[in-house]
A and B are shown apart, each in its own frame.
Chain A
Amino acid sequence: MIVVSLVLAGFAAVTLWWTMHAWRTPETLASTRFAAPDGEHRLTFSLLVPARHEQAVLEHTVERLLESTHTGFEIIVIVGHDDPETAEVAHRVAATAPGRILVVTDTNEQKNKPRALNTALPYCRGDVVGVFDAEDQVHPSLLEHVDHAFRSTDADVVQGGVQLINFHSSWYSLHNCLEYFFWFRSRLHLHARKGFIPLGGNTVFVRTDVLRAANGWDGTCLAEDCDLGVRLSSRGAKVVVAYDSAIVTKEETPGTLVSLLKQRTRWNQGFLQVYRKGEWRRLPEFGQRMLARYTLTQPFLQAFSGIVIPIGIAIAIWAELPVFVALITFVPVIPMAANLVFQTVGLRDFGLQYGLRTRWHHYARLILGAFPYALVLAVAALRAVWREYTGKRNWELTAHTGAHLTKEPVAAKSGVAA
């Protein structure tokens, strides 16, 4: 009991330590921002936008990309051969900017995001490949900043910030937004510094030659973004993360709790697949390998401790263990509660940075929703483990439905799969 509690407390403390990386000192916080661009446009970009059943949002996204202040970029929209509605929109938009926009049709029988991206890779003419989702709101000056970041840091990969914005929509969206906030604002920077990074799914930029040398994305992986990051890290690629609330890519949380659960299950299962692939074992340093091991299994540790800690405390109280032992079972709660305090500060900071009003009931939601949200994550983690290990590893079916491209169909279809 004592050992379990102390181990859990150790895990929670390490996670907290890393989560708070960016705010350790004022200097660290300053170093996480994009440096001010010098106004020169030296690199050229190929921006990949895979779209599947997203005719409603695609046009707006592409139009917004066209507003970019950078001069050297092309947009490659990837549509499925079985998705005429989206293809129609894509071709219509492409006609408005000939030479800028290319539409590539993915004819793979089984559709998923990595395969769509791989289909487009041979067509890329830019120095750098960037990935966006069809529903992203991209800031016009992002490319200028990224151009400068590549040149000034000599990076192979630049990961920009992604932020869920609609924290007021529901109780879980608040937590989801804050998760992104802490991940992109803080945690990823630590990963970049340590030389092991699971990349994000969009606003990620890779030098085209580096990407081609790595054979693009893994078409069979559920978390192709994470996988790419791990493979590039283990080949020693230099990754730079920069976050600036002014030019962050904005997204929205999944529309329902069930779709959030499905999305999280898929990510977790993807993490598990990346872990089992073992590419991370080729990382040169022991510390990096430990970080990889820890990061890839973290969803499961988190789920495990989310369940075990309350049980431990309950046992300690009801079984009338000695007071000293009972006190020890409360130790893992310290870092978790501290995390909640920091999330409260984070919510305020988030509101200030994005000019959103945070009211008292948002803070109440944050605190009251913390445990239910942990439960949702725990269920997602358990589902992922269960699907991966019980032969129900039918991600092909999920992939067939285009699970990763839109949110609503994921909810409907992968529910069937599960």
Chain B
Amino acid sequence: MSIAEAPTQVIMLPDVPVQPEPRPAPRRRSRADLYVAGGLAALVLFFLAWNITGFPTATDDEGTYLAQAWAVQHGQGLAHYTYWYDHPPLAWIQLAGLAWLPTVLAPELIAVAAGRIAMLPVVGASLILVYVISRRLEMSRWAAALALLTFGLSPLAITMNRQIYLDSFAVVWMLAALALALSPRKHLWHYAAAGAATAVSVLSKETMLLTAPAVLVAMWQNAAKTSTRPWAFGGYVSGLILVGVFYPLYALLRGELFPGAGHVSLIGAWQFQLTSRSGSGSVFEAGSGSHSLIAAWLYYDTVILVAGLAATVVALAVRRLRAPAIAAVILALVALRPGGYLPAMYVVQILPFLAIVIAGVADEGVRRLQPRRSWWRWAVLGVAAVTALTLVLPRWYVGDRRALTTDDNAHYAAAATYLREQLPDRATSTVVVDDVLWIDCVNAGYQREKVIWFYKLDLDTAVAATLKDGWRDVDYIVSTPALRQDPGSLPTVTKLLTNSTPIATFGPQDGRIEIRRIDKNKS
């Protein structure tokens, strides 16, 4: 049958536009999300930035990572001493990329304090991602905002997020992976990017691998009942492996993949960390390292940890909250395992997941209650909200006020100033310092080879070889709490401390910093 044979009625169809008109409703919604997330993130960043240099106390770990970033920035390899594959290097490579920020904003600060400014964009991205993930987990806007604020304003989070930790870099990438795995468009390349982000996260801090199952669960749920699920996983695996493989490849190309005489190696470092590293004791054993660490975390904020773990148990039963709950469960179980090693910054990894789970369970509760129906449901909700706020707000007020007002680093700054301005013959002296002051000394004009991180005196043969007369080649030692932490474990450091006299002292007795001149005539 042709058109000519058809009945005479002719129907004129309007041209169908190829692209449907841009839908105004979703656009407005995403705009609102943008304002909420952006505004709250800015607010949290303000609290983070205020007094970021004064609290908490600069730690040796921060100095180490910053010094390694310094080495990358100055083209001196992956570390300021021989890189021995202790951690994958991506986090401090990223830190090196952000290092221009503090030099622009605060050139006069001591290095570690200034370096913290570089963490602000990283934490800012994490905050936004927590919001995005919450929204993609079908949480209401208020719940997503609650997740962001919980993650941002918990005193524990403020303390940890201010510090220069590799974990913060790992967290932002793993959150990105989770957000991509929850892509509403279920796009193949989003899944591949999620794999790549997972790899970057793990190459920023290896322990973040523990949370990868959460991303897989999120993907599995998101791709459910679609025809493209196997392809999605193909994309994820490609991204993960093909980016991740560059780390062992780097070691292989340097001839440092397998253990051997006379060189460091990736596999050797893994063997050391898995077998030889002494545990920090059980969490449940009073007096152990892990126990006091957990006590310290609880001291900063009980709310996010206790409420978070309680919410995690509930969230495991809710399908849409299962992915972040799984991440939190794995991290918590690993922390509680007896006899393992628990690093001081471990809690950084679990905080965003706890925040999402807390807000998610609140969202689920409100959804189940359906308060629209009757006044008493609203009353229940109101009582719950008021109770939660009265429990949380006073504690957080105290913790956050401490973070905003305390200056714990004044004595470090004073010591750095003394080293920079008052110590004689800076160009020729050999000084032994901790990692916090290492960069400040190098920046102050000391010869890079003659500023020695105290650890290396006894543990790095290459460093010991530069001192022909042993400890007598050292001119000064800067004694800090970090340096005095394990008395007796480092013989050369002990020797230097006993054969020296203080020429300048800063800070209170328990946290004092002494600049000591070596008495070379002693035996």
Contacts and interface: CB of A to CB of B under 8 A. Distances in A.
Interface of A: 17, 20, 23-26, 29-30, 42, 316-317, 323, 326-327, 330, 333-334, 337-338, 341-342, 344-345, 348-349
Which of A26, A29, A326, A344 is packed against the most chain B CB atoms within 10 Å?
Answer: A26
Interface string B257-295: 000000000000000000000000000000000000000
Nearest to A336: B242
Given A30-B227, A334-B242, A342-B234, A23 B188 contact: yes
Interface in B202-251: 226-228, 230-231, 233-235, 237-239, 241-243, 246, 249-250
B185 A25 contact: yes
Which of B192, B243, B254 is packed against the most chain A CB atoms within 10 Å?
Answer: B192
A345 B230 contact: yes
Contacts of A30: 227
B253 interface: yes
A334 B249 CA distance: 13
Given A23-B231, A25-B228, A341 B249 contact: no
B242 A327 contact: no
Given A24-B187, A25-B186, A326 B253 contact: yes
B188 A327 contact: no
A186 to B, nearest CB: 10
Given A24-B188, A25-B186, A26-B186, A327 B249 contact: yes
Contact of A26 (B192, B226, B249): B226
A337 B187 contact: no
Contacts of A349: 230-231
A25 B235 CA distance: 12
Contacts of A330: 246, 249
A25 B187 contact: yes
A345 B234 contact: yes
Nearest to A349: B230
Contacts of B2: 42
A219 to B, nearest CB: 32
Contacts of A25: 185-188, 228
19 contacts: A20-B188, A23-B188, A23-B228, A24-B187, A25-B185, A25-B186, A25-B228, A26-B227, A29-B228, A42-B2, A316-B253, A323-B254, A327-B249, A333-B242, A338-B235, A338-B238, A338-B242, A345-B230, A345-B231
A26 B234 contact: no
B187 A29 contact: no
A330 B235 CA distance: 19
B188 to A, nearest CB: 5
Contacts of B241: 337, 341
B333 interface: no
Contacts of A348: 230
A344 B254 CA distance: 32
A323 B234 contact: no
B104 interface: no
Nearest to B239: A338
B189 A24 contact: yes
B317 interface: no
Nearest to B77: A323
Nearest to A337: B242
Given A24-B188, A323-B254, A337-B241, 9 more contacts: A17-B189, A23-B188, A25-B187, A323-B250, A327-B250, A327-B253, A338-B242, A342-B234, A345-B231
B237 to A, nearest CB: 6
A316 B227 CA distance: 42
Given A327-B249, A327-B253, A330-B246, A341 B234 contact: yes
Contacts of A29: 227-228
B1 interface: yes
Contacts of A337: 238, 241-242
A344 B234 contact: yes
Interface in B378-424: none
